[in-house]
Amino acid sequence: MSNRTWNVAVVGAAGMVGTEMIKTLEQRRFPVNELRPLDVAEVAGTPVSFAGRACACLEATEANFAGIDIAIFSAGGDASLDLAPKAVRQGAVVIDNSSAWRMDPACPLVVPEVNPRDLAWHKGIIANPNCSTIQLVVALKPLHDRARIKRVVVSTYQAASGAGKNGVDELLRQTREILEQGTCSPPRTFQYQLAFNVIPQIDVFQDGGYTKEEWKMVHETVKIMGDPGIRITATTVRVPVLIGHSESVNIETERKLTAAEAREILSAAPGISVVDDPAAPAYPMPAPTAHTDAVFVGRIREDNSLDHGLNLWIVADNVRKGAALNAVQIAEQLVAGNLVRVP
């Protein structure tokens, strides 16, 4: 990075991910000149702490993007569709965490460990992928580069925090109620009781009985990996975990990779921590990996039902690497590559 500093807005600053984005900017010492927290009118005026000082949250309006270089959004799809073009019009480059722009062919969909070169063709808006997609492609990319992946079967075990603060609060409330009185009040955030349960539905059902979350993983993975020949199927499941998504992943490659080769490849790949020792036993889990930056991979083994198959277990903090950190890493790449510009 150069010595230049940047004016950065965080849209949705009062939310769970927005708060984590601000924390990540500070922890990674991103060269911020001015941090401008933006959110809905109801929270305008609320103080937000950054680098030892309080910044007043402002309402997210077009006028409040004036002078901003980089705007990082985590305010939902509707807000992004409305405000991202306005921020660009004011001269900001937008990094958007919602699904609003991910499949727009004019917008790069970027995971810095996987496809940073796509940032070079941005037209003002860059999409941050779905949290479950991010950790998947970080692990897939180095294996794909070595042996080309033909097919992926992924089942996710996604934390309550994937639904934001309301999801976390609901899981805690239900758990407390069940422990204290044996039953819980009706769900408001999830379709069914999540405490002591799993729900095989994330987002709404769409074509072929798949959910929107499952189709996100399919389409986003192909776009990020840049290979339309990869065939993907997904089942996404909500589990009673506070933070950290887990994924059981089966891949088929064009040429055989042994488990030892895969372990070596993944150990050398950026952003990955391999935790894989059955004798210990050691493998990734969401509780001990919460609030960390890496994508953790374990249970690496050959699929004995395929000639060229591997099984992996992948875990990452969905709020951190699955959202806030990836967005900040994109901002770092923009600065390093002199790409903070609106064409």
Query: What CATH number should be reported for the domain holding residue 78?
Result: 3.40.50.720
Q: What is the DSSP pairing of strand 231-238 with strand 149-158?
A: parallel
Q: What is the per-residue pLDDT across 106-131, written as a single tens digit (0 to 9) for each?
A: 999 999 999 999 999 999 999 999 99
122, 141: one domain: no
278, 155: one domain: yes
CB-based contacts of 86, cutoff 8 Å, min separation 6: 62, 65
Hey, what's the torsion of the CAs at 225, 228, 233, 238, to 10 degrees? 40
- C-alpha closest to that of 71 among 301, 270, 330: 330
Q: Which tokens belong to 192?
A: 């069914």
CATH of the domain at 244: 3.30.360.10
Contact 162, 131 (CB under 8 A): yes
57 catalytic residue (yes or no): no
What is d(CA 60, CA 78) in angstroms, rounded to the nearest whole number?
13
Taking 50 as the threshold, does the pLDDT of residue 66 lie above it?
A: yes
Structural domain range at position 94: 6-129+323-336
139, 76: one domain: no
Is the preceding omega at residue 281 within 30 degrees of 0, hence cis? yes
What is d(CA 227, CA 229) in angstroms, rounded to the nearest whole number?
5
Residue 343 lies in a domain: no
200, 233: one domain: yes
Name the active-site residue from 57, 107, 131, 184: 131
167, 64: one domain: no
CB count within 10 Å of CB 285 equals: 16
Per-residue DSSP letters for 69-106?
A: SEEEE-S-HHHHHHHHHHHHHTTPEEEE-SSSSTT-TT
Q: Which tokens belong to 276?
A: 């894989």
Q: Looking at the 3D structure of the chain, how many domains does it have?
A: 2
Tell me if residue 156 falls in helix, strand or coil: strand
125, 163: one domain: no
290, 183: one domain: yes
Spell out where 303-337 has E strands. Answer: 309-316
pLDDT at 2: 62
Residue 165 lies in a domain: yes
Q: What is the per-residue pLDDT across 264-293, written as a single tens digit (0 to 9) for each?
A: 999 999 999 999 999 999 999 999 999 999
Q: Which tokens belong to 183?
A: 């039953």
Q: What is the per-residue pLDDT across 311-335, written as a single tens digit (0 to 9) for each?
A: 999 999 999 999 999 999 999 999 9
Phi, psi of 342, deg, nearest 5 = -105, 115
Taking 60 as the threshold, does the pLDDT of residue 1 lie above it?
A: no
Q: What is the per-residue pLDDT across 170-221, written as a single tens digit (0 to 9) for each?
A: 999 999 999 999 999 999 999 999 999 999 999 999 989 999 999 999 999 9
184 catalytic residue (yes or no): no
Residue 342 lies in a domain: no
205, 291: one domain: yes
What is d(CA 75, CA 59) in angstroms, rounded to the nearest whole number?
12
Integer-rounded Cα Rg, in Å, for the chain is 20
Phi, psi of 144, deg, nearest 5 = -65, -40
Burial of residue 56 (CB within 10 Å: 0-12, 13-18, 19+) is exposed
Share of the chain above pLDDT 70, in %: 99
150, 271: one domain: yes
